[in-house]
Amino acid sequence: MYMKLPLKPLLAAIAATGALNITVMAAAQARVTAPTTSAYRTSRAIKARQNFLRNIADNSQISIGTVNSTTSEPETPAQKKLKKLNTLYTNKHVFSETQSALALGTENKKMVSPNSGAASLLSTAPGVHITSENPQNGSGRYNITINGMGIGWWSGNTYRNQISVLFDGVPMNNQITNDGQWNSSQIPILNMIHGVNVIYGPGNPKDRWYDSLGGTLNFVPVQPSAKFQATVGTSYGSFGSKSGYFLLNTGLWHGWSTVLAGGYTAANAFYQGPSNWPQHSWSAYIKTAHPFSNGLFTIGAYIEKSDATHTFEIPVTPIAGYTVNGYGVKGPLLSQQTSGFYNVPSANLWYKNDIVDSYVLYSQQKFNLGGDWTLSNTPWYRHAYRLHQASFNYGADVYNPEAAEHYAPTDNTIGDKLNVAWTSKYNDIDLGGWVSDQRYHTVEDLWNPLLGTSQNNPYVYNNVELTSVFSSIYAQDTIKLLDGNLRITPGLADVNYATTMADLPNANLSGAYLTATPGAQTNFTRLEPSIGINYKILSDLSAYANYSTTYQNETDLAYGAYLQNIKVNTSAIPLTKAVDYEAGFRYYKKNISLYINYYHDYLTNLLNGVSGSLTQLNASGYNLGNALYQGVNISAKWKPIGQLYLYGSANVEHSYYTNDYNNTGVSFNGLDLTGIPHYSFTLSASYRIPLYDGVLTPRITDQYSGGQTLYNGITGGPTDQVMNNYNLVNISITYRTTLLNRVIPGVKEAVFNFGLYNLLNRKYESDIYLTTGGYQPGEQASLFAYPGAPLQVFGGVSLKF
Q: Are 346 and 325 contacting, i.e. CB atoms less than 8 angstroms apart?
A: no
Q: Are 553 and 596 contacting, i.e. CB atoms less than 8 angstroms apart?
A: no
Position 187: which residue type? I
User: Is the per-residue pLDDT at 429 higher than 80?
Assistant: yes
Smallest CA-to-CA distance from 484 within 545, 541, 427, 543 is with: 427
User: Is the per-residue pLDDT at 766 higher than 60?
Assistant: yes
Cα–Cα distance between 178 and 558 in angstroms, integer? 9
The helix or strand, by DSSP H or E, that contains position 40, with its residue range, turns out to be helix 38-41
Region 157-166: what's the mean pLDDT?
82
User: Is the per-residue pLDDT at 179 higher than 50?
Assistant: yes
The per-residue pLDDT for range 81-93, each reduced to its tens digit, is 888 999 999 988 9
User: Sorting pLDDT into bands at 50, 70 and 90, what band is 606?
Assistant: confident
The helix or strand, by DSSP H or E, that contains position 690, with its residue range, turns out to be strand 689-691
Region 182-194: what's the mean pLDDT?
92
The per-residue pLDDT for range 320-345, each reduced to its tens digit, is 889 999 888 999 999 999 999 999 99
Region 242-260: what's the mean pLDDT?
94
The per-residue pLDDT for range 548-577, each reduced to its tens digit, is 999 999 988 888 887 766 677 778 889 999
Q: Are 267 and 243 contacting, i.e. CB atoms less than 8 angstroms apart?
A: no
Question: Between these two residues, 8 and 218, which has the higher pLDDT value?
Answer: 218
Q: Are 126 and 632 contacting, i.e. CB atoms less than 8 angstroms apart?
A: no
For residue 725, the tally of other CB atoms under 10 A from its CB is: 15
Interior CA angle at 267 toward 793 and 724, to 5°? 70
The per-residue pLDDT for range 269-286, each reduced to its tens digit, is 999 999 999 999 999 999
3-state secondary structure 419-472: EEEEECCCEEEEEEEEEEEEEEEEEEEEECHHHCCCCCCCCEEEEEEEEEEEEE
User: Sorting pLDDT into bands at 50, 70 and 90, what band is 398?
Assistant: confident
Sheet of 163-167, strands arranged across: 101-104, 193-200, 215-221, 163-167, 170-171
User: Is the per-residue pLDDT at 42 higher than 80?
Assistant: no
What single DSSP character describes residue 562? T
What proportion of the chain, given as a percentage, has pLDDT over 70? Answer: 87
Smallest CA-to-CA distance from 127 within 101, 91, 105 is with: 101
Cα–Cα distance between 666 and 682 in angstroms, integer? 37
Cα–Cα distance between 226 and 83 in angstroms, integer? 8
Please give the backbone phi and psi of residue 799, each rounded to the nearest 5 degrees, phi first.
Answer: -125, 135
The per-residue pLDDT for range 509-537, each reduced to its tens digit, is 878 887 767 778 899 999 999 999 999 99
Smallest CA-to-CA distance from 723 within 792, 790, 786, 665 is with: 786
Cα–Cα distance between 604 and 580 in angstroms, integer? 12
- Name the burial class of residue 47, with classes exposed (0-12), middle (13-18) and buried (19+) by CB atoms within 10 angstroms of its CB: middle
For residue 264, the tally of other CB atoms under 10 A from its CB is: 17
Q: Are 195 and 88 contacting, i.e. CB atoms less than 8 angstroms apart?
A: yes
User: Is the per-residue pLDDT at 617 higher than 60?
Assistant: no
Mean pLDDT computed over every residue of the chain: 86
Cα–Cα distance between 495 and 501 in angstroms, integer? 20
Instruction: Annotate 372-427 with DSSP letters as a single string.
Output: TEEEEEEEEEEEEEEEEEEE--TTTTTS-TT-EEEE--EEEEEEEEEEEEEE-SSE
Q: What is the pLDDT of residue 626?
A: 93
- Name the burial class of residue 564, with classes exposed (0-12), middle (13-18) and buried (19+) by CB atoms within 10 angstroms of its CB: middle
Region 598-603: what's the mean pLDDT?
96
What proportion of the chain, given as a percentage, has pLDDT over 90? Answer: 61
Q: What is the pLDDT of residue 41?
A: 35
